[in-house]
Amino acid sequence: MRQWAKFWHAGWLLLPWLALAGSALTLPDIGGNPHALSEFIGHGRWTIVALWSVDCAICQREIPQIAFFHDEHRRKNAAVLGVAIDGVAERTRIKKFVGDNALGFPNLIAERGDVAEFGAGPLIGTPTYLFFSPTGKLVTWRVGSTSLTEMEKIIAAR
């Protein structure tokens, strides 16, 4: 077997571990309190991690709508975790956005570079939605506008 093929094969064996890699990441909430992602992911229900930015026009329109999804599903089969990728230097603006839009789901603050640790690679754009299974495995992700109906279909199909 060629040398590169051995490494390629070994890489495939690591994929399940990489999909769970984000669960070790610790990020502050809008109040500055640290939280491990494992507090939110892999507890017997789906977790949709919504990566957003205060300056993203699509996020300004969609993230408040995600609150409806969270309210509808949180006691049944899914919850939402918001992650603002603007960094802690923008905490005041992030906190204002969360308050102004009455987001009823938890929101953490990350730096753009932290996003790769979620297991889906580097950030391509916002919003990005990461779908973690009830066991905590990253199953799929969507970049850009995603409707609540599409979210429900992704969960129902798995």
Q: Which residue ranges form the domains of the chain, and what is each CATH number?
A: 3-156 (3.40.30.10)
Compute the distance between CA of residue 105 and CA of residue 20 in angstroms, rounded to an integer: 21
- Spatial neighbors of 8 by CB under 8 A, at least 6 apart, are none
User: 68-113, pLDDT tens digit by residue?
Assistant: 999 999 999 999 999 999 999 999 999 999 999 999 999 999 999 8
Adjacent-strand bridge partners of 80: 48
Give the three-class secondary structure for 44.
coil
Compute the distance between CA of residue 139 and CA of residue 25 in angstroms, rounded to an integer: 18
16 exposure class (CB count in 10 Å sphere: 0-12, 13-18, 19+): exposed
User: 23-35, pLDDT tens digit by residue?
Assistant: 578 999 999 999 9
The pTM of the full predicted model, rounded to 2 decimals, is 0.84
Compute the distance between CA of residue 142 and CA of residue 35 in angstroms, rounded to an integer: 24
